[in-house]
Amino acid sequence: MLYRENGQFKTTYAADQQIFPIAQDKWFVLGLIAFAFIGVPLLADEYLFRAILIPFLILALAALGVNLLVGYCGQITLGAGAFMAVGAYAAYNFLVRIDGMPLLGAILLGGLTTAGVGILFGIPSLRVRGLYLAVATLAAQFFCDWAFLRIKWFTNDSSSGSVSVSNLEMLGWSIDAPVEKYLFCLGIIVLFGLLAKNMTRATIGRQWMAIRDMDVAAEVIGIRPMFAKLSAFAVSSFFVGVAGALWGFVHLGSWEPAAFSVDRSFQLLFMVIIGGLGSIMGSFFGAAFIVVLPIFLNQFLPALGHLVGVSISTAAVSHAELIIFGSLIVFFLIVEPHGLARLWSIAKEKLRLWPFPH
């Protein structure tokens, strides 16, 4: 009843080309963003910020980057964790080696460096595709793990190989409190989300999708596969690199290469698959699913046991968490192979017909 576009006439091309052509969608998303900026800081406590919201936002940004590459351009990557590491270490080096380097500058330069590395490891995509490409990008993972463990220059000759960043400051605004860190991440992710959405609606995004759907046909109609594929690698790596820098700088504060292991790469790929390939919204759903659900289960199961009078050991909870988490992944993939984003759009379609379904 409420969600219906009757009477919303578009009289200009500009109105037709909006991101959210339906007014209800637009107001909903704007309201959500406003709530995230104003409402959440008033409501959430420190635990929610530091343990859930900040990691969720950062990994959603990383998943968004992976989604551009895997979901929009159809190039499977298993090197996302490595690209996060490149972003984090590059930003760290820019920050400590150049005097007076602003925080945002370091993070963006970290992202740009990652884009360069992404192009380098994207070159095999010009020849190999599918699973073979996944294996080729896995090489990026192993190479970066090795490089950050062994080459001391990257860690500023830290004896333990662990680097740390503190006293984050941007334009005189010192980012210390959890709520400030949250707002900083949120600002970045909103900008990058908008950027990604617009890119996928523009020429470059359409080229990626053409390559994804059939690269030979795309080439015939005049799309350069080399440009399309490498630009997808570059943009995706840029996003992932910025996320990596945020993960190191804002979330962990001190990190080692193990924070960006191959597990992280798989985690990001799962986020994209579960959230929905080729959907901006899906990246957020996927990140929420992977970040929040294990933590939720970990706290919920003992509480549930307590309620029925059974005390469950920590190890049992941890095992159960993995079992339930794994079976939910399988469940969602069977029920909705197109990801959580597809469930979302189905819900919207139903809502348009409600209360008179046919």
Does 256 interact with another protein (rule: CB under 8 A)? yes
Does 266 interact with another protein (rule: CB under 8 A)? no
Which span (16-24, 69-77, 98-106, 144-152) binds another protein, by CB under 8 A?
Answer: 144-152
Does 311 interact with another protein (rule: CB under 8 A)? no
CA distance 41 to 35: 9
Does 10 interact with another protein (rule: CB under 8 A)? no
What residues are paired with 170 via a beta bridge? 173
Does 300 interact with another protein (rule: CB under 8 A)? yes
Does 253 interact with another protein (rule: CB under 8 A)? yes
- Which CB, 119 or 252, lies closer to another protein? 252
Binding pattern to another protein, positions 191-220, x when CB under 8 A? ------------------------------
CA distance 139 to 133: 10
Find the binder of another protein among 10, 97, 150, 201 (CB under 8 A): 150
Which span (19-27, 212-220, 228-236, 316-324) binds another protein, by CB under 8 A?
Answer: 316-324
Min separation Cβ 352 and another protein, Å: 18
Number of residues that bind another protein (CB under 8 A): 47
* Total residues found in the chain within this entry: 358
The residues that touch another protein, with contacts defined as CB under 8 A, are 45-47, 50-51, 55, 96, 145, 149-150, 159-162, 164, 166-167, 176, 251-256, 258-259, 261, 295-296, 298-300, 303-304, 306-307, 313-315, 317-319, 322, 331, 334-335, 343
